[in-house]
Amino acid sequence: MEFFNKVGKMAIGSRLRMLTETMTDDAAQIYKLYDIDFQPKWFPVFYVLQEGGEFTITSIAKEIGHSHPSVSKIIAEMVKNGFVTEKKDKADGRRNMVSLSAKGREAGAKIQDQYTDVTGAVEELLSQANHDLWKAIEEWEYLLEQKTLLRRVQEHQKVRESNKVSIVPYEPQYATAFKALNEEWISKYFVMEEADYKALDNADSYIIDNGGLILVALYNDEPVGVCALLKMDDPDYDYELAKMAVSPKAQGKNIGFLLGQAIIEKAKALGGHKLYLESNTILKPAISLYHKLGFTKVAGRPSPYERANIQMELAL
Amino acid sequence: MEFFNKVGKMAIGSRLRMLTETMTDDAAQIYKLYDIDFQPKWFPVFYVLQEGGEFTITSIAKEIGHSHPSVSKIIAEMVKNGFVTEKKDKADGRRNMVSLSAKGREAGAKIQDQYTDVTGAVEELLSQANHDLWKAIEEWEYLLEQKTLLRRVQEHQKVRESNKVSIVPYEPQYATAFKALNEEWISKYFVMEEADYKALDNADSYIIDNGGLILVALYNDEPVGVCALLKMDDPDYDYELAKMAVSPKAQGKNIGFLLGQAIIEKAKALGGHKLYLESNTILKPAISLYHKLGFTKVAGRPSPYERANIQMELAL
DNA sequence: TATAATTGCGTAATTAGTTACATAATTAAT
DNA sequence: ATTAATTATGTAACTAATTACGCAATTATA
C-alpha cells in the first residue's frame, strides 16, 4: 500500500479497515470449503450458542460486543435456515430465548474442523510475522479504553495551540484591543459601567502608572487575550487580577490559563503576597479558570462594580 | 474483550473490525474539533487531491485502494460542498477531471494542523504499546498478498485430512471396494474391458499371487482409495502401477498422492528398480499426480488396454 | 475502415453493520 | 396501587463500503 506510506500514521484507521476487508472477504469462501451453508457473520452468535443452553438476544449482543438489532437480525436469519430455535420465556414475556436446533448442533460438529484449520492458519501467520498483530490489537483496545483517540488528539491540539500563543507586556499599540476584548464580554453579559470606561480608556495612566501592569496574549501576532494586575491600596491584598478577557474566536487554546499563570508570576516577581479578584457567578468558565489557577472564594467586600457578586483570593 | 480470549485467534477478523470501528467513530468528532465541515471518508480522496493538479476518478481510486464507484460518490459529495471542481477532459470525453476548488485548498490549509495532531496522537499510542500495530499491519498485508488466508486454511485442511487417511495392505474384505472404486471411474470415462474384469474380479490370484500387491486407503475406516502394484515380466521394468482409484467423495484429501507414495515405497522394499504405468491423457488430474510422484513420459509400448494412450516410468 | 476490445465512470442493488425509535413487559418508588 | 423507570426486543432508516451492470468514448485489430 504505497498510499499509506505517503500519508503516514494518521491513516491507520483506513489501513485497518482494508486489512479487515481482505480477511473477511476470504471468510465467506472458507465456509464453502467445509460445505456448511453458513454465513461468516453468524459466527460470533453461533459460537456463543454452542456453549449450550438458552440465551436472550441482549445477552448474546453483550457477549460478542454487537448491538442488539444486529443479533436480532442474525438470529432471524439463522432461524430461517433452521440452525436455531426461539421461544418466549414464560417467566418474562419480553425475553426471546434462543438455542441451537438439532441441525445447528450438527453443523457445530462439522464446524469444529474448520475452527482448528482457521486457528492454525492464523497462528501460522502470526508466527511468520515479527510484530504480533494479535497482541498489538489487544494493547490498542486497552489504550483506547483508557483514553479515546478523540481525547488524545484534543490534547495534542491544545499543546500545539498553546505553543502558538505568546504572552507579552502591554504596549500602547494594544490599547484598542485591551478595550475591545473587555467591552465584548462585559456588554454581552452585563452593561459597561463608569469604572470600566475609566480603566479601559486610560490603561496607561489608570493601571500602569499606578504600579500595575497589563499582559497581552498574542496568537499569530494578533492580540486575542488581555489581563491586568492592579495595585491595591489595602492592608489585606497587594494586587487585584482584573480585566481578564479572551476573544471567543480564540477559545480552547488555553489562553486564559496562560494569561492567569503569567500574571501570577508577575505579581510574585513584584513581591506581592496575596491576590484579589472580583467576578460574577454567571461566568462559569471564568470562575472555574480562577479555581484552576488556585483562587479560593472569600467573604464579600465593597466593590465599585455592580456586576461583582463573588470575590476570590490567592496567597502567593 | 472477554469474548475474543475465549474464541481465540480465529476471530482476529472480527476483532480487527471492532478496533477499526472504535477508531472511525472518533474520526468524525475529530474533524469537528477543527471546525471544518468535512467527512472523514473524504479524507483519502482529499489527500490525493492536495498533491495539486487534476486527477481522474479511476486514478484516485487506484491510488487509495478504493473501488471507483466509491470515489465517484465521494467526489459528488465534495463537489456539492464546494471543495472540488470537476470538468470533462477535452482530449478524452470519458474522463472527469477533478481538482480542489479555492474553498478546498483553503480547507487544506486549515487541515494541516489536524494532520499533525492526529499523527501525534497515533504516534503516542504506538509508543505506549509494546507491540507495533503499524508494522504488524504492514507485515500482514505482505503475508496475505503472498498467500491468501483462504489458501492457508486450505492447506491446513489438507494436512489434517491427510492425517485422517491411513494406507493399509489389501485384505479379502476390500475385494468389493477394489472393484467398485475402479469400475466407477473406468465406466465414467471409458468402457470396462476384458483385462479389467480379469484383474478386478480376481485380485488375489491375478495380482497378489503373481508377486504383486494392493494398498487400500481408509478414511474413517472406510475404503476410499485403492492402488495396485503388478509384477511385470519385462527386461526394462519390475513392476507396473495400476488400478489406482479414489472415490470422488474423498477428493481433496491428498489420497491419490498418499497411495502413490506408499506403492512406490513398497516397490523399493521389494527390490524394484523401475516402475511403469499406462494411462489416458483425458485423465488430467491423474497425469499430473503421476508427474508429482516423479513419473516421466516414455515412448509407446503394446498394451492390453484400448484406453491406454500414454506410458510413464519412474526409476526408483 | 468497420468491428471488437478496453477504458472511464455513473447508477442501482447489496451488505453488514449502526443509531433512532416504538412497544410491551417487568421492576422500583411514592 | 398507581406511576415512573428500566429492560428486552423488533422495525425502520442510515452508512460506507462493495459488486453488477450499462453506456459512451477511445484504442486496437483484421
B150 in contact with A, Cβ within 8 Å: yes
Per-residue pLDDT for B185 more than 80?
A: yes
CATH 3.40.630.30 residue ranges of chain A are 157-315
pLDDT tens for A2-32 read 788 888 888 888 888 888 888 888 888 888 8
Q: Read off the pLDDT band of A1 (50, 70, 90).
A: low
Residue A120 (CA) to nucleotide D13 (C1'), in angstroms, measures: 41
Residue A20 (CA) to nucleotide D22 (C1'), in angstroms, measures: 31
Higher-scoring residue by pLDDT: A36, A97: A97
Cβ contact B71:B45 at 8 Å: yes
Q: Read off the pLDDT band of B118 (50, 70, 90).
A: very high
Per-residue pLDDT for A290 more than 80?
A: yes
pLDDT tens for B20-57 read 888 888 888 888 888 788 888 999 999 999 998 999 99
* Chain A residues within an 8 Å CB radius of B149: 22-23, 26-27, 30, 121-122, 125
Beta sheet of A310-315, edge-to-edge order: A165-169, A213-219, A222-231, A239-246, A274-279, A310-315, A296-298
- The predicted pLDDT at position B54 comes to 93
Nucleotide nearest residue A68, measured CA to C1': D9
Q: Read off the pLDDT band of B1 (50, 70, 90).
A: low
Summarize the confidence of residues A58-74 as an average pLDDT: 93
CATH 1.10.10.10 residue ranges of chain A are 2-146
- Model confidence, pTM: 0.73
Phi and psi at residue B301, in whole multiples of 5°?
Answer: -135, 160
Taking an 8 Å cut-off on Cβ atoms, the answer to whether A156 and B8 are in contact is: no
Residue nearest to nucleotide D8 (CA to C1'): A94
- The predicted pLDDT at position B26 comes to 87
How far does the CA of residue B50 sit from the closest CA of chain A (Å)? Answer: 11
Fold category of A2-146 in CATH? Arc Repressor Mutant, subunit A (1.10.10)
Distance CA A257, CA A270 (A): 20
pLDDT tens for A135-193 read 999 999 899 988 999 999 999 988 888 888 999 999 999 999 999 999 999 999 999 99
Taking an 8 Å cut-off on Cβ atoms, the answer to whether A152 and B125 are in contact is: yes
Per-residue pLDDT for B252 more than 80?
A: no
B125 in contact with A, Cβ within 8 Å: yes
H/E stretch holding B303 reads none
pLDDT tens for B73-96 read 999 999 999 999 999 888 888 899
Query: Mean pLDDT across chain A, nearest whole number?
Result: 91
Taking an 8 Å cut-off on Cβ atoms, the answer to whether A144 and B23 are in contact is: yes
Residue A117 (CA) to nucleotide C21 (C1'), in angstroms, measures: 43
Query: Mean pLDDT across chain B, nearest whole number?
Result: 91
Per-residue pLDDT for B172 more than 80?
A: yes
Summarize the confidence of residues B249-274 as an average pLDDT: 92
Residues 70-109 of B with CB under 8 A from A: none
Taking an 8 Å cut-off on Cβ atoms, the answer to whether B20 and A20 are in contact is: yes
- The predicted pLDDT at position B24 comes to 86
Flag the least confident range among A293-297, B108-112, B262-266: B108-112
Which cell is B191 given? 468402457
Distance CA B23, CA B129 (A): 16
Query: Pairing between strand A84-88 and A274-279?
Result: unpaired
B288 in contact with A, Cβ within 8 Å: no
Taking an 8 Å cut-off on Cβ atoms, the answer to whether B19 and A116 are in contact is: no
- Selecting from B33, B131, B156 the residue whose C-beta is nearest the C-beta of A121 gives B156
Give the residue ranges of DSSP H helices in chain B: 2-7, 12-33, 43-49, 57-64, 68-80, 102-128, 133-146, 149-164, 175-189, 194-201, 255-269, 284-293
Per-residue pLDDT for B143 more than 70?
A: yes
Chain A residue with the nearest C-alpha to that of B64 = A3
- The predicted pLDDT at position B14 comes to 85
- Selecting from A64, A122, A129 the residue whose C-beta is nearest the C-beta of B10 gives A122
Q: Is the CB of B73 under 7 A from strand D?
A: yes
Total CB pairs under 8 A between chain A and B: 223
What is the DSSP secondary-structure string of A203-263? IIIIIITTT-EEEEEEETTEEEEEEEEEE---SS-SEEEEEEEE-GGGTTSSHHHHHHHHH
Taking an 8 Å cut-off on Cβ atoms, the answer to whether A9 and B122 are in contact is: yes
B251 in contact with A, Cβ within 8 Å: no
Class of domain A157-315: alpha beta
B222 in contact with A, Cβ within 8 Å: no
Candidates B32, B59, B150, partner chain A, best to mutate (most A CBs within 10 A) = B150
